[in-house]
Amino acid sequence: MTAAVFDFAPLLPAGLPAAAAKWTGLAKYSFVGGNNDPDQVPLEGLIDAVNAVLKREGRTLATYGLASGPQGYLPLRQFLTAKLKADAGIACTADEILIVSGSLQALDLVNATLLARGDTVIIERDSYQGSINRLTRLGVNIVGIPLDHEGMRMDALAEALADLKSRGITPKYIYTIPTVQNPTGTIMPVARRTELLRLAEQYGVPIFEDDCYADLIWDGQRPPAIHAMSKTGNVIHIGSFSKSIAPALRVGYIVAGWGVMSRMLSLKTDAGSGALEQMVLAEYCAPHFSTHVPKLTRGLRAKLETLMEALNEQFGTSAEFEDPKGGIFLWVKLPDQVDTLKLYQAALAAGVSINPGPEWSVDKAYAGSRLRLCFASPTHEEIREGIALLAEVCHREFGVPERSANIEKRGRA
């Protein structure tokens, strides 16, 4: 006799997200997710680092937080103070840095510290899916600001702030990805950062600066972080090692003044983020980060060029995009008749995964014929084959491109 299986469904509270589907592996041609280039993981350096650091101080793993306390491994925070000064112009101490389990935990901690249901936040109209989804789940009102080739538009931001003020609403923060914006790839120039700070101060709204792609700029030149330009400590800055070293490590960080840091720290009830990964990163990055990253970005730039060539060849003028100055993704506009949510389904069935635009924007109509393509993880060959297959599927489903360049090319061969 088999007993009936206990049913948890009646116990679930209202408002849970849908149940997860069983994982079925990555698509053959995967243009989604922040995955990086396997060949660019600095494996030998990481192995040397892990041996050195474990031999020297591995027994500290017996203590939660090692000997560094709840803000994370001190040598990693010390590396970050030097890196942030050199790369982003941020002058901060190790006490103003909190190591977290990837920048996703940073999003959760900032949100838990500042947001309640019914609050209002300002974000870029097209933005990181994980940020949009979190805000939606928290029941927060999202005001999306359009972007141009220099990032968030300040005229639109000024208008939104004035409009909110006229309705008695002070937004909890202005969230921006100013340096290699996700998904548009734009970099906000210094003048616009200055204007953003001016508006933020005028309206008494803090800025939440997500800089997790900022290391990946082709020419290595980035504007100072908005955090670095603030004179009032009104910027919470977050970053990550996922894009510069390896995403599976799950190590990110928050830079903030103690006033708000102390509130985030009291919400970080996980007894610390993974210590071994913090130790390896500190040991590896201190001597090698500044030489590793340019090598990584050269490889990424080459893959981007393959992607743009493949799009031009397969989609012709149907695919519109700007050549981004860095990053791991390309934001593509297809003709209006293409519904990228439907394209996503059809392409997935054919073995190609893409990010449909509406999942990366608060304006679902605007983004309806747009898509995000990540290019770091697939090989050059997979990029070419995957985009050819995507064009075939798109032609079949939407008549776009008008005639698949792929088919034409095969006809000529």
The interface with its own copies within residues 357-396 (CB under 8 A) comprises 377
Name the one range near its own copies by CB under 8 A: 111-119, 161-169, 320-328, 338-346. Answer: 111-119
Q: Strand, coil or helix: what is 51?
A: helix
Nearer to its own copies, 296 or 307 (CB): 296
Site string (157-196) toward its own copies, x via CB under 8 A: ---------------x------------------------
Q: Strand, coil or helix: what is 249?
A: helix
Name the one range near its own copies by CB under 8 A: 18-26, 153-161, 214-222, 326-334. Answer: 18-26
Q: Tell me which residue of 347, 342, 341, 322 sits closest to 333, measured CA to CA.
A: 322
Helix axes 275-315, 74-83, angle to 10 degrees: 40
The reply on whether position 355 binds its own copies by CB under 8 A is no
Q: Are 236 and 109 in contact (CB under 8 A)?
A: no
Q: Are 349 and 391 in contact (CB under 8 A)?
A: no
Question: Rounded to an integer, what is the distance from CA 364 to the centroid of its chain?
Answer: 19
Q: d(Cα 307, Cα 313) in Å, to the nearest integer?
A: 10
Binding-site member from 36, 353, 369, 404 for its own copies (CB under 8 A):
36
The secondary element (H helix, E strand) that includes residue 121 is: strand 120-124
Q: Report, in Å, the least distance between residue 263 CB and its own copies.
A: 5
Q: Are 132 and 190 in contact (CB under 8 A)?
A: no
- Look up residue 144 and give its amino acid: G
Name the one range near its own copies by CB under 8 A: 264-272, 317-325, 367-375, 392-400. Answer: 264-272
Instruction: Name the residue with tokens 């995009």.
Output: 321
The reply on whether position 275 binds its own copies by CB under 8 A is yes
Q: d(Cα 184, Cα 127) in Å, to the nearest integer?
A: 8
Binding-site member from 75, 185, 272, 386 for its own copies (CB under 8 A):
272
Site residues for its own copies, 52-81, by CB under 8 A, read 54-55, 58-66, 69-71
Q: Report, in Å, the least distance between residue 169 CB and its own copies.
A: 13
Burial of 222 (C-beta count, 10 Å sphere; 0-12/13-18/19+): buried
Q: Strand, coil or helix: what is 373?
A: strand
Q: Report, in Å, the least distance between residue 333 CB and its own copies.
A: 27
Binding-site member from 81, 109, 113, 373 for its own copies (CB under 8 A):
113
The reply on whether position 351 binds its own copies by CB under 8 A is no
Residues counted in the chain: 413
The reply on whether position 139 binds its own copies by CB under 8 A is no
Residue 336 DSSP class: T
Site string (292-331) toward its own copies, x via CB under 8 A: ----------------------------------------
Q: d(Cα 15, Cα 24) in Å, to the nearest integer?
A: 26
The reply on whether position 274 binds its own copies by CB under 8 A is yes
Count, residues near its own copies per rule CB under 8 A: 97
Name the one range near its own copies by CB under 8 A: 80-88, 175-183, 212-220, 265-273. Answer: 265-273
Binding-site member from 119, 126, 210, 385 for its own copies (CB under 8 A):
119
Site residues for its own copies, 219-258, by CB under 8 A, read 230-234, 246-251, 257-258
